[in-house]
Every structure is written in C-alpha cells, then in structure tokens.
C-alpha cells in the first residue's frame, strides 16, 4: 500500500468530511491505487537510472492533509522538471513513506530511504518530534534532507539537512515588530505545553522587551482542553495575545470570540493559514493576524501572485483540486509550495554541482540564491551556512477576514 502510493498519479484526494463521501472515497481510492500500482513502476528514460526523491510524512490518520499536500506539491514539481528533461540527464521519481502518527515508523522509513543509493533527496519526516528522532540517520548516510514541516530547532550544525519552512524565531520576530508598530504595551502567550510552546515562551521572554512590550507570561494548554476560556480569562486585559499554530490556536480564537476580546490576536507561527483554523474558530477568526512565508492563495487577486508561485499552485489546483472547508467554505490548495521548494532547490544545486554527489550538492545548496519570482513558494531561497531556505525578508503578515464572497486574507504592509 505504501509503495503503491509513490506512483499514484491521479488520485483526487477529497479531504472534505461527510460520512458517506469519505468512506466511499477511501474505498474507491484504495481500489484505484491498487489497480494502478502495477503499471507505474520503473519509468526509466534516457539510459540513466531515475533519481528517486523520498517523502516521509503522515499520509494517513488525522494529519494526513499535511503529508498528502506535501506529496502533491512535490509530485507537481517533479512532473514539471521531468517534462523539461529531468535533472542531470535523469528522470525524477517520487517514493512515499507513511509515518502516520508513529515516530517509530518515521525512523524506520528514514533508515530505509537513507540506505537506498537511488534515493538522492529525502523530504520530511514532518513534525518536530518525528524529525528529531530521524535526522541523525540522514547525516550518517550523507543523504540530502529537506524539511518543510519543522518549525523549531536549528539546522546550522547539520551537513546535509536544510529547512524549507519559516523558523519560529522569524515568525515571532515579525509578529513582535507588528505589535510594536501598533503600539501594543503588553502581550501574553497561549500555546500547547510542548517543545514549540516552550521555545516560543523562551523567545518572547527574551525578545518582547526589545519591542517595547511587557511579556505577561505563558498559559500552557493541554490536548484534552475542550475550551480555552480559562486561559483567555487570564489575559482578558492584555493588549495582544499570541495564539498557537496548532489546533489549540483555534480553541484560543473561539474563546476570545466568546469572551468578546478586543485586543490583537496574533499567530506565534504560520499555522493559522490552515483553513482548519477557520473551520474550528468560525467568525472568531475575523481580524486575526499571522506571520508566514509567502502565502498568497487566499488573497484572491492572482495577478499579484509571484509568477513561480502562481504557476505551481495552479498546476496543483489542476491536478489535485482545492480543499474547501465544509462549514465555512474557506479554501486552500491541495499542495504545500514549501515542499516543492525542496525539489526545486535540489535540482538547482545538482545543476550547479554538476552531479548528485551529496557533499558537492550540499555545498552547492548553501550557495544557492534563487529569486522569489522563480521559486514554487514565491519566497527567495538563500540557505547559506544556517541551512535556512528563507530569511526575515520572506516572512509576511496576513490577516483573515470575511465578506459576502467568503473568507480571504489581506497582506499587511510591512
């Protein structure tokens, strides 16, 4: 089943809930995948064996949207490169491994893909805990690894690992700048009591004063909280509140709405771009602000989208369609452009290095300087010694709002 997913081409992943629809959908999908599995194995062109790219992520379970979106975007980027003749004279081929919600599976998949000489690049595994468990394997095996789903921790000391996501530090710094510009005097944090929550807490404790803000402290939440009004209550007089990038963030927003909170609600990460926030919080999400790397999708005016981004997203839309929140009608593409950046940057690095030798490619990756207009994500890619694809200038501020045509975001001026 897992192997078959790797060559799935047209499975139209309909994530919308609905008992009948999804159950039937899963059955149809499984059958379709099983049927197409036999006919899509070794597509080898031009004499050279294919370059395989692995992705490890949650393809099943509650976080499947994350893994499937990454897989979709990578597939679209691979298709684009293959149509242009591949890289280094070889065609690209995607290999998918499902980590589900089991870090053990992620490590197992990482070990398998890292040991496979045909695999040249591994994307994922997503989620910080999963990644931390697996990253040593990539270093030992000199496997280029790209991370579109890990916000905390540092990549600077890694030889072969790169991050194609906004680091928490960048997001929080951007958000603090915004609060300063709004003249807020103080700010509190409501976040899960996990590693990310603790790291945001540490950053705020250190940086808030620099932005002229009093840090009111950290209300750490529990996964079994069904409501955040108790935490909200602690900050009812705060001028601004940082909310979580995870499902807890939506609970905070809902509690803020119920309490009639009037201050600024700002994301401690880019999670609020996810339409599940809008689905969970409903109208309470109007006016919330979040920092994120380029995410122009809900801004509506496609003419303004960066060319590479628009091309990528429209290809994703064409191939996989759009997620629509069943309750609110908010939409998102069924792809994660940041994951496509991994493949895009890797292809550029191979070109620069003149081959797929991991040491040369890693060195070439560090030296990349790709303009925002060309990349699938619409962000400039300049990894440098820090191994961070994106820098401060790539983080933008967006604000959710709703009108008679539905939910949209506007980009706030810097």
Partner 1 sequence: MTLQAWIDGVFTGSIYALVALSLAIVYQPTRVMNFAQGEALILGAVVGYQVISLGKLGWVVAILATLALATLMGVLSERMIMLPVRLSGSRFAWIVATLAAALIFQSIFTLGYRDVDALRPAPMAEGGFTLAGEQVSWQIVLTVAIALAVMAGYDLLLRRSTYGRAIRAASHNPGTAVLMGIPVQRIIVLSFVVATVLSALAGLLAAPVLFIGPAAGLIFTIKGFTAAVIGGVGSPRGALAGGLIVGVLDSVVRTEINATAGNLVVFGLLALILLVYPSGLFGKPMEAH
Contact positions toward partner 1, by CB under 8 A?
15-19, 22-23, 26, 61-62, 64-65, 193, 219-222, 224-227, 229-234, 236, 247, 250-251, 254, 258-260, 276, 279-280, 282, 326-327
Could you give the CA distance from residue 337 to residue 113 in angstroms, rounded to a whole number? 23
Cβ at position 9, least distance to partner 1 in Å: 22
Instruction: State which H helix or E strand residue 292 sits in.
Output: strand 289-293
Could you give the CA distance from residue 238 to residue 213 in angstroms, rounded to a whole number? 11
Could you give the CA distance from residue 244 to residue 295 in angstroms, rounded to a whole number? 18
Give yes or no for a contact between 11 and 33, defined as CB atoms under 8 angstroms apart.
yes
Helix, strand, or coil (residue 217): strand
96 or 246: whose CB is closer to partner 1?
A: 246
Cβ at position 265, least distance to partner 1 in Å: 16
22 or 356: whose CB is closer to partner 1?
A: 22
Paired sense of beta strands 51-57 and 240-243, if any: unpaired
End-to-end CA, the chain = 47
CB atoms within 10 A of CB 4: 18
17 or 46: whose CB is closer to partner 1?
A: 17
CB atoms within 10 A of CB 44: 12
286 or 300: whose CB is closer to partner 1?
A: 286
50 or 269: whose CB is closer to partner 1?
A: 269
Residue carrying the six token digits 């493949």: 343
Helix, strand, or coil (residue 273): helix
189 or 347: whose CB is closer to partner 1?
A: 189
Cβ at position 1, least distance to partner 1 in Å: 16
Could you give the CA distance from residue 300 to residue 7 in angstroms, rounded to a whole number? 32
Cβ at position 220, least distance to partner 1 in Å: 5
Angle between helices 337-353 and 307-320 (to 10 degrees): 120
Residue carrying the six token digits 């790797």: 6
138 or 191: whose CB is closer to partner 1?
A: 191
Cβ at position 396, least distance to partner 1 in Å: 25
Cβ at position 26, least distance to partner 1 in Å: 7
Cβ at position 227, least distance to partner 1 in Å: 5
Give yes or no for a contact between 271 and 277, defined as CB atoms under 8 angstroms apart.
yes
Which string of DSSP letters, residue by residue, matches 85-123?
T-BTTB-EEEEEEE-TT-HHHHHHHHHHHHT-TTEEEEE
271 or 376: whose CB is closer to partner 1?
A: 271
Give yes or no for a contact between 121 and 148, defined as CB atoms under 8 angstroms apart.
no
Could you give the CA distance from residue 251 to residue 226 in angstroms, rounded to a whole number? 8
Instruction: State which H helix or E strand residue 72 sits in.
Output: helix 64-83
231 or 243: whose CB is closer to partner 1?
A: 231
Cβ at position 282, least distance to partner 1 in Å: 7
Cβ at position 129, least distance to partner 1 in Å: 19
- Here the tokens at position 346 are 């890797």
């Amino acid at each position: 089943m897992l192997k078959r997913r790797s060559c799935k081409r047209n499975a139209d992943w309909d994530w919308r809930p609905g008992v009948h629809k999804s159950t039937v959908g899963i059955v149809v999908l499984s059958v379709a995948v099983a049927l197409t599995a036999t006919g899509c194995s070794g597509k080898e062109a031009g004499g050279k064996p294919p370059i395989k790219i692995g992705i490890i992520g949650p393809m099943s379970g509650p976080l499947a949207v994350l893994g499937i979106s990454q897989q979709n975007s990578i597939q679209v980027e691979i298709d684009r490169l293959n149509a242009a003749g591949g890289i280094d004279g070889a065609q690209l081929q995607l290999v998918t491994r499902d980590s589900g919600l089991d870090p053990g599976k992620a490590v197992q998949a990482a070990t398998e893909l890292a040991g496979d000489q045909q695999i040249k690049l591994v994307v994922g595994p997503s989620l910080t805990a999963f990644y931390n468990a697996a990253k040593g394997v990539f270093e030992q095996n000199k496997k280029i690894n790209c991370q579109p789903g890990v916000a905390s921790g540092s990549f600077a000391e890694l030889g072969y690992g790169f991050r194609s996501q906004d680091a928490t530090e960048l997001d929080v710094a951007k958000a603090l700048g915004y609060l300063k510009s709004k003249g807020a005097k103080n700010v509190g944090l409501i976040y899960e009591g996990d590693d990310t929550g603790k790291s945001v807490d540490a950053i705020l404790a250190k940086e808030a004063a620099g932005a002229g803000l009093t840090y009111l402290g950290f209300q750490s939440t529990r996964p079994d909280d069904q409501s955040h009004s108790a935490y909200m209550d602690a900050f009812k007089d705060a001028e601004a509140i940082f909310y979580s990038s995870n499902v807890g963030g939506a609970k905070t927003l809902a509690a803020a709405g119920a309490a009639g909170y009037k201050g600024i609600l700002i994301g401690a990460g880019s999670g609020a771009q996810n339409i599940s926030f809008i689905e969970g919080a409903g109208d309470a999400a109007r006016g919330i602000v979040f920092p994120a790397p380029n995410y122009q999708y809900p801004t509506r005016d496609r003419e303004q989208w960066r060319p590479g981004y628009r091309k990528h997203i429209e290809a994703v839309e064409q191939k996989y369609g759009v997620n629509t929140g069943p309750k609110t009608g908010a939409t998102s593409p069924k792809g994660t452009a940041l994951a496509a950046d991994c493949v895009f940057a890797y292809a550029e690095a191979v070109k620069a290095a003149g081959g797929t030798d991991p040491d040369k490619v890693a060195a070439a990756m560090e030296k990349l300087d790709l303009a925002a207009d060309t990349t699938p994500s619409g962000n400039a890619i300049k990894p440098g010694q820090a191994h961070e694809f994106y820098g401060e200038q790539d983080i933008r501020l967006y604000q959710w709002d709703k009108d008679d045509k539905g939910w949209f975001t506007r980009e706030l001026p810097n």
